[in-house]
Every structure is written in structure tokens, then in C-alpha cells.
Chains A and B, each alone.
Chain A
Amino acid sequence: MKKRFSSLIEIQKEINEGNLNLPELVQYYLTQINKNKHLNAFLEVFEEDAKEQAEEIQKKITLKTAGKLAGMVIAIKDNIVYKDHESSASSQILKGFTSLFSATVVERLLAEDAIIIGRTNCDEFAMGASNENSAFGPVLNAIDNTRVPGGSSGGSAVAVQADMCLASLGSDTGGSIRQPAAFTGIYGLYPTYGAISRWGLIAFASSFDQIGPFTSSVSDMSLLMNCITGKDENDASMAQIEALNIQLTDNTKPLKIAYINDCVNHEGLEESIQTKTFEFIEALKEKGHSLTPIDFPYLDQMVPCYQILTTAEASSNLSRFSGLTYGNRSNNAIDLESMYKTTRSEGFGAEVKRRIMLGTFVLTSDFYDAYYTKAQKVRQVIRQETLKIFENYDIILTPTTSTVAFKIGEKSNNPIAMYLADLFTVQANLAGIPALSIPYGTDDNGLPIGMQIMGKPFEESTLLQLAQQLQ
């Protein structure tokens, strides 16, 4: 879709040439947000804060003391907390909750003078693939308002798609950044597990969750990654690494790229996406890369493995929502136990309850070994086999999704069809490796298509350099 600016480089150029200042820029995005209210992408716009930040940072620009992200107007998903601002993870159970601290990613963005313009709608607790599970209504795809934007980070994707901000942050547990990026025609990255602090991210499945950016350009993606990655003493599960230092160049060395046969020839793959995938493969060959089809016979196991492990982790993570110390307590409680039960039953939506129930089931002593431990072992096999591919190849390629954006309501009564929307994306989360969705044209109806490239742990730079070459 047509955007006024598609990268921070363009904005900073306009500012430096004196054609634009930050208050004007913020006003432009606020007007865009207002114009696109019907899309339901934002749950709250931090209008006054953003205007104040714009004035302050404009002064810094004049004094030449501004940070690397001066001019970056960014939105955050409603499961990333921001001090003295509300966060609800799109759930009734957190309605009215105001955070006492900021997520590490938020602090790092602010430290480099980004402007946070609002919090975006998502599936409740990031559970979903269509943004239809939000307690505050679905988000609409800006290209076709009868279609979903994907999920769970649907609001963050549409905010960038419809030019309501330059970039946004989402979170990805099984595809929740890459699938909506593909459905809305923008870039979306799942970073290597452990590259970005989860401090201040409302947890869904802790061994899968990662925060990552949505952007319209590869340069913005690289810059944001350089600013938000690197160890944090508040998240001991992270890799103990310094921030990434991705420098895009004009020279992309020839890469060895493997594409997965089972994905590109999958029976559920829409013809338009298959055609585009082969076009993409040809385009890569023309740039001098070598492309090899490979077999990876675990496709049928990925979504089940993901479902068991993420629901187990979710049932444990979401036990903290008790109505006791924060959040929205039910008025129908008569004793302590009924306080928990009524608060949770009234506060959680159907999909969240379904996942808590499944997660509780696989963790009960009778079924723990048969399901939970088995899935952890299968995850080990999938990770080891995925890493083995990287002994011979630099990159693994698949389409991001098997379909284009589907109709609102089309899959909402069929949880399994909805879960299969993550078919090609969950591999990266299971293995903990970085994966980028690259917008690559549309089908005949103008609906966007995304290509997914996965890389070795902490080699986001290889993915972004390749995306830059194709841009």
C-alpha cells in the first residue's frame, strides 16, 4: 500500500533538509490513525505523550544530540508493557491494568529517541492466527476489510500496513509476527530465541515467545534489531550476547539456500503462492545463489508438538491471573476459590480457556510422559534436524503461509484449521532460529504473499542482507 515514508532514512533526510519536523510527522501519523479507526488496529493512542516526545526530540535534533531512532514513530503490541500506561493483552481480565515499569524493549526504543504512538490490538494473550480472539473486536486487513490481517499481532501489522506509524513491535510464539506480515505485505521478523529480552512481555509460552519488529523496509528492520537486541539482567533465559550490529552492504555473497519440498508442494498450498514461490526461487538463482530442494519429513508433527508445549506453558503462565493483586476481579465471588474461578471464567475468552484446559491436560500426571515429555523430545529432534540442515546450507526457504489472508469468520469455529495457519512458521519457534517474512507480490486479487527465510541462530544479518538484495 502507498505510504508517505517507508524508511527512517527517508524521514531523517526530510528533517535534515528542513522539509519536515517531528511534531508535523507525529501529526501526520495521528491523522492517519484517525482516518483508519474502522480497522481497529489501535486499542489506545498515546496522543499527548507522542506530541510531547516530538517536541523534545525535535530540540535534540537541532542540538545534534538525538538518538539513532529520532524520527521513528512506532506502535507496540498490547502485550508489551510501558510504564504508567495501560496494557491488557487484549483481555478483559487485564482491563484497566497500568504497568509500574517498562519492558526492556520499550526502554531501549525510548533511549534512542523513538516515539511510541500507541498500543495495538492483538489476539487475547497472543493466542490466535487471525486477530479474531481479541476481547476488543477483530482487526481488519486494510487491503480488503472483509479479511483478517492475521494474528496474533494483527494490530501491529495493520498499523504499519495502513501507514499509521513507521514500524511496530509484535510478539511471535508460532508465527504471530510473520503470518500477519505476509497477510499485510510488510516485513516481519522472529528473532533468534534469546536475542531480545522478554522482560515486560506478558508471557504466553516462555520457551517460544520473542518480541520482533514489523517494518516497511529492510533498513528499519536492521536498525531496530541493533537497538533492541542484547543481554539484559532482567531476563536470565537470554543468550548472554551483546546487541547485534547488522550493517547492510551492496555486496551480498552467494548463499546456499535449501527449500523444503514438503512445503512448496504441500497439498494445502494455494496455487498463487506456489507460483510465487517458484518465481522467488528463480529470482534468487538469478542473483547467483544456489537453490536445492530438500526433504524435511516432520511437517505433520510440528503443529501438534507446538500445541502441546505452548498450551502447557500457557496454562502455567496464565495461572498468575487470579484477580488477587491486579487486573479485573469478578463481582460474583463468595469465597477465595470462587474468586479465582469467576474472575478467570469471566475474564478469559473461549480460545484462552481452551488452551489452558489442553495445557492442564498434558501436564496431568497420567498424561505427562505420553504428551508433554514426548513433545519435548520431538522438539529436540526437530531442532537438531533443523540445525543439521545448516551444516550444508546458509538459509532455509518456505512460503510464510499456505494461504493468503482469509475471510473474517471463515475459520473461527474450527480450531484445527486455525492452528494449521502456522504450519510453515512454527519450525523456527520450535528450533529457536531467526526467520524473516519478506513481502513478495500478491495473488490475482491483490492479496499479499510472503516468503519466509530462516537462518542460523544469531545470523539475522544474513537474512536481512539477502532481503536487502531483493528489495
Chain B
Amino acid sequence: MQITDEKINQLAHLSRLTFDNNEKAKIKQDLERILELCESLNKIDTEGVEPLIHMTNSVNIVREDNPHQEFSREELLKNAPKKDSDYFRVPKVIEQAK
């Protein structure tokens, strides 16, 4: 299967990744080779086969709904790359007027 540059750009955006042109060419080639390998799946007749989605037979495993607080705010903010006393901080979200 041929993968277009446009497709690579779309996938990169969906994946929230950026690549330079060399990396893009390499990824494109790798994806094409892997997808070619995947063509062999079409040799298996799966007419009428249900897709396998769940690996165990467990259904609706529930527990008692006991409210509890496992972690404090301080603990949850501990690993934050950027924070103030109460919040995670991120770069500006609202676009500035041009």
C-alpha cells in the first residue's frame, strides 16, 4: 500500500507528534513495509467471525461505592511539570489577537 505525505501529516497531527522530513520518509517506508506484511491477514476467511474484544468473561465487575479520598491535592500536584498552589499550569490557551 502507498502512503501519501498528506496521510503521514494527518497521522502525525492525530498522534500529536512532529517529524522532520527525513523522519517522515523513514516512517512512511516503515509503515508501508509493515502494512504489506499485514496483507497476509486477508488469507484467513473471517466471514461470520465475531471480533475478539474482551479477553476474559468478566462482565460488569462492581465494587461497593464507598467515597474516599486516596490522594491529597499536594500529592497529585507533586509530579506536575508546572503548577501553582492549586492548579496544573499550561501555556496560554486563548489565541492572541494578531
Contact = CB atoms under 8 A, between A and B. Distances in A.
A100 B71 contact: yes
**Interface size grouping (class) on chain B:** 35 or more
A360 B11 contact: yes
A329 B11 contact: no
What is the interface residue range for chain A against chain B? 35 or more
Nearest to A98: B79
Given A239-B56, A240-B58, A300-B43, A416 B34 contact: yes
Interface in B8-53: 8, 10-12, 14-19, 23, 27, 30-31, 33-35, 37-38, 40-44, 46, 49-53
Given A307-B38, A378-B44, A356 B61 contact: no
> Which residue, A308, A360, A383, has most C-beta atoms of chain B within 10 A?
A360
Contacts of A238: 56, 58, 61
Contacts of B12: 357
B73 interface: no
B49 A301 contact: no
Contacts of B14: 360, 364
A353 B23 CA distance: 10
Contacts of B76: 100, 325
Given A233-B63, A377-B51, A371 B38 contact: yes
A379 B16 contact: no
A59 interface: no
Given A300-B43, A301-B41, A356-B15, A415 B49 contact: no
Consensus secondary structure, chain B interface? loop
Interface in A353-411: 353-354, 356-358, 360-361, 364, 371, 373-381, 383
Interface in A405-423: 415-416, 419
B17 A327 contact: no
A73 to B, nearest CB: 29
A82 interface: no
B67 interface: no
Contacts of A233: 61, 63
A301 B92 CA distance: 47
A102 interface: no
Given A304-B38, A364-B14, A416-B37, A377 B81 contact: no
A98 B76 CA distance: 11
A203 interface: no
B37 to A, nearest CB: 5
Interface stretch (A1-9, A254-262, A268-276, A330-338): A330-338
24 contacts: A100-B78, A233-B61, A238-B56, A298-B44, A304-B40, A307-B34, A308-B41, A319-B16, A324-B90, A327-B81, A329-B81, A336-B93, A338-B91, A340-B16, A356-B17, A357-B12, A357-B17, A360-B11, A361-B35, A375-B41, A379-B51, A380-B51, A416-B33, A419-B37
Q: Which 10 A-B pairs have the closest CB atoms?
A: A376-B51, A329-B81, A326-B79, A377-B46, A380-B52, A236-B61, A194-B56, A340-B16, A304-B38, A379-B52
Interface of A: 96-98, 100-101, 193-194, 207, 233, 236-240, 298, 300-301, 303-305, 307-308, 315, 319, 322-329, 333-342, 344-345, 348, 350, 353-354, 356-358, 360-361, 364, 371, 373-381, 383, 415-416, 419, 432
